[in-house]
Amino acid sequence: MIPAVLPTYARAPLHFVKGEGSWLIEADGRRFLDMGAGIAVNALGHAHPDLVAALTEQANKVWHLSNLYEIPQQEELAARLVEATFADTVFFTNSGTEACELAVKMARKYWYEKGQPQKIEIITFDGAFHGRSSAAIAAAPTEKMVKGFGPLLPGFKPMKWGDWDAVEAAVGEATCAIMIEPVQGEGGIRPIADADLKRLRQICDDKGCLLILDEVQCGMARTGRLFAHEFAGIIPDIMMSAKGIGGGFPLGAVLATEEAASGMTAGTHGSTYGGNPLGCAVGIAVMKHLADPAFLSEVARKGGLLRQKLEGLVAAHPDVFEGVRGLGLMIGLKCKVANVDLVKAGYAAEIITVPGGDNVVRLLPPLNITDEDIAEAVERLDAAATALSAK
Ligand SMILES: *Cc1c(COP(=O)(O)O)cnc(C)c1O
């Protein structure tokens, strides 16, 4: 008999009943160190007092307002994002995949309004992940994600990640945009080199197409910069955000320059829940922490600390690990054993990690994790790796 919940997830037999900072408490009382943070969502950990206060305060005022009316929390959060980034304007969604939908629509509409309606093709990359909507699976069409769901939305051209010469050659009359994650998340924590991201920006400028960055996972301070593309010193035309932006409340956003957004006039896009007062109130509280330069430099320092300890772990377990990669607190442990086996051994050692592509185990802890918890995490990973080697 089919379970009451549609069985599309392979769930671990863990039942968490409470969260405290970087810790999750199981129903049986065990305390798990959360190095996954809901896949980079709980940017400030669990039950952060400022986020709890922002949510409850707003809950006592008004939960939902239609976008037929003004929503001051939305205006404030947008102003904060505009202030802190390249963007001139922001649209709020409830998730990353909805941000992908709008990014695609915005880019195509831009060229349509410029009198170039033939520019509809979006270049994307293998190993990418942009969500599960029809546009997002067409953008990153792995067999698992697209088989049986046809027809695929046309107008996407997936290319080999890393072959930037081929990308340059492929950009033509029909190219609308290049869409890429500055650090692939699901693909296994694969950062694009700064010089290569600069080159993609240059290709877009030279040949006349837009650059769309998907910073759903790598953005919102995850790498030690508010957004990962800042390392390369470039700006996108359109950028997707979600995950950490709501600190655990469902929230996403599309950020854009005034020029790139110029086709999106009244009535061309909308959302019932997008930018609701609850989500935006929490988003403001999140931004107050994450956009603070002192907070960002702490993320960078802690990322360095974790990285250094992990290099030691890898050296101590050459039969389990191949190497460490990533930026800030977005780290991948490339494994020699099956990554899912390490994640399982981690559960036994009461630490939560997340598998990723390319046989990587992802570490995406709360950005405010303490130094003590970083040390504890590496000890628990050491216990997990030791248990695996003994097998
Ligand atoms: C998670 C993710 C998405 C999709 O976000 P949802 O909120 O799950 O729809 C899109 N892009 C990237 C890079 C992601 O990591």
Q: Which of 217, 254, 362 to mutate to test the pocket of ligand 1 (most atoms within 8 A of CB)?
A: 217
Q: H or E stretch including 344? A: helix 339-348
pLDDT for 176 equals 98
C-alpha 348 – ligand 1 centre gap (Å): 28
C-alpha 127 – ligand 1 centre gap (Å): 13
For residue 74 and ligand 1, the question of a CB distance below 6 A is answered with: no
How far apart are the C-alpha atoms of 92 and 99, rounded to whole Å? 8
Give the atom of ligand 1 at the shortest distance from the alpha carbon of 250: 7
Q: Measuring from atom 5 of ligand 1, which residue has the nearest CA?
A: 96
Where are the domain boundaries for CATH 3.40.640.10 in the chain?
50-290
Which fold, 50-290? Aspartate Aminotransferase; domain 2 (3.40.640)
Q: DSSP state, 159?
A: E
Q: Tokens for 306?
A: 């974790």
Residue of 346, 348, 350, 351 whose CA lies nearest to 335:
346
Strand partners, 125: 159
Q: Tokens for 164?
A: 């930037």
Q: DSSP state, 152?
A: P
Is there a binding annotation on residue 205? Answer: no
For residue 130 and ligand 1, the question of a CB distance below 6 A is answered with: yes
pLDDT for 73 equals 98
C-alpha 245 – ligand 1 centre gap (Å): 12
Where are the domain boundaries for CATH 3.90.1150.10 in the chain?
16-34+293-389
For residue 242 and ligand 1, the question of a CB distance below 6 A is answered with: yes
Give the atom of ligand 1 at the shortest distance from the alpha carbon of 184: 13
For residue 181 and ligand 1, the question of a CB distance below 6 A is answered with: yes
pLDDT for 390 equals 83
Q: Which of 8, 41, 92, 97 to mutate to test the pocket of ligand 1 (most atoms within 8 A of CB)?
A: 97
Q: Tokens for 314?
A: 């890898």
pLDDT for 353 equals 98
Is there a binding annotation on residue 148? Answer: no
For residue 276 and ligand 1, the question of a CB distance below 6 A is answered with: no
For residue 368 and ligand 1, the question of a CB distance below 6 A is answered with: no
| Tokens 């067409």 -> residue | 138
Phi, psi for 334 (deg, rounded to 5): -75, 125
For residue 222 and ligand 1, the question of a CB distance below 6 A is answered with: no
Is there a binding annotation on residue 322? Answer: no
Give the atom of ligand 1 at the shortest distance from the alpha carbon of 186: 15
Q: Tokens for 369?
A: 């994790």
For residue 237 and ligand 1, the question of a CB distance below 6 A is answered with: no
Q: Measuring from atom 15 of ligand 1, which residue has the nearest CA?
A: 217
pLDDT tens for the 391 residues of the chain, in order: 999 999 999 999 999 999 999 999 999 999 999 999 999 999 999 999 999 999 999 999 999 999 999 999 999 999 999 999 999 999 999 999 999 999 999 999 999 999 999 999 999 999 999 999 999 999 999 999 999 999 999 999 999 999 999 999 999 999 999 999 999 999 999 999 999 999 999 999 999 999 999 999 999 999 999 999 999 999 999 999 999 999 999 999 999 999 999 999 999 999 999 999 999 999 999 999 999 999 999 999 999 999 999 999 999 999 999 999 999 999 999 999 999 999 999 999 999 999 999 999 999 999 999 999 999 999 999 999 999 988 7
Is there a binding annotation on residue 271? Answer: yes
pLDDT for 187 equals 97
C-alpha 102 – ligand 1 centre gap (Å): 13
What torsion do the CA atoms of 12, 282, 100, 43 make, to the nearest 10 degrees? -50
- CATH classification of 16-34+293-389, choosing from 3.30.420.40, 3.90.1150.10, 3.40.50.1860, 3.90.650.10? 3.90.1150.10
CA distances from 315 to 17, 204, 306, 319 (A): 36, 41, 14, 9
pLDDT for 79 equals 98
Q: Which amino acid is at 29?
A: G
Q: Which residues, other chains included, contact 268 with Cβ-Cβ below 8 Å and sequence gap of 6+?
A: 105, 109
The answer to whether 286 touches 44, Cβ cutoff 8 Å, is yes
Residue of 57, 32, 60 whose CA lies nearest to 46:
32
Q: Which of 130, 134, 183, 245 to mutate to test the pocket of ligand 1 (most atoms within 8 A of CB)?
A: 130
pLDDT for 147 equals 96
